[in-house]
Structure 1
Amino acid sequence: MKINVDIDCTPAEARAFMGLPDFEPMQKRTLEVMERRMMEQLENFTPETLLKMWMQPVQLNAEWFQDMLRRATK
């Protein structure tokens, strides 16, 4: 025997029916804080600063590689 039950409800109604907590207000506050922080930090990320951040590891690797070659040829 097979029984199918279809329930038509919203996710909020399903959470309330199952007794699950509603995290929507907390999620909204968290997203607002994240958005505010991102907008504050956006001023620090100009193309010049991003280029410096990306190129720094490349420069360090190049220096390390040159140093390794110097030591290998001694």
Structure 2
Amino acid sequence: MKITFDVDCTPEEARSFFGLPDVKPMQDALLAKIEERMAANLDAISPEALLRTWLPAGVQGIEQLQKMFWTGLQSAQSRDKPEKK
């Protein structure tokens, strides 16, 4: 035998029926704090700030990156060359 029934109620009514606490005020307070922090950190997401973080030495950082790539390419080429006998 299978019995089914539908309950038509709002989330607030279901929460009070099961004796669960209303956490909406706490959620609203937490969301407000998160929103404040995100707004304060928006400047850190700007492209200029990201580049300053990633390349702190500016042009010198780019030059060092190029040297690293060239060194890696040269070492890869030297490994791939067959040895002369």
Q: How many residues align?
A: 66
Describe the superposition over 1:12-31 as per-residue Cα deviations: whole angstroms up to 9, x where unpaired: 11111100111111001000
Structure ID, larger Rg = 2
Q: List structure 1 segments (4+ residues) > 2 angstroms apart after TM superposition.
A: none
Partner of 2:16: 16
TM-score by length of 1: 0.65
Mark the runs of 5 or more structure 1 residues left unpaired by the alignment: 70-74
The answer to whether the 8 Å contact 2:15/2:22 transfers is yes
RMSD: 3.0
Residue 46 of structure 1: aligned partner: 46
With 27-36 and 1-10 compared, the bigger mean Cα shift is at 1-10
TM-score with structure 2 setting the length: 0.58
Query: Identical aligned pairs, as a percentage?
Result: 46
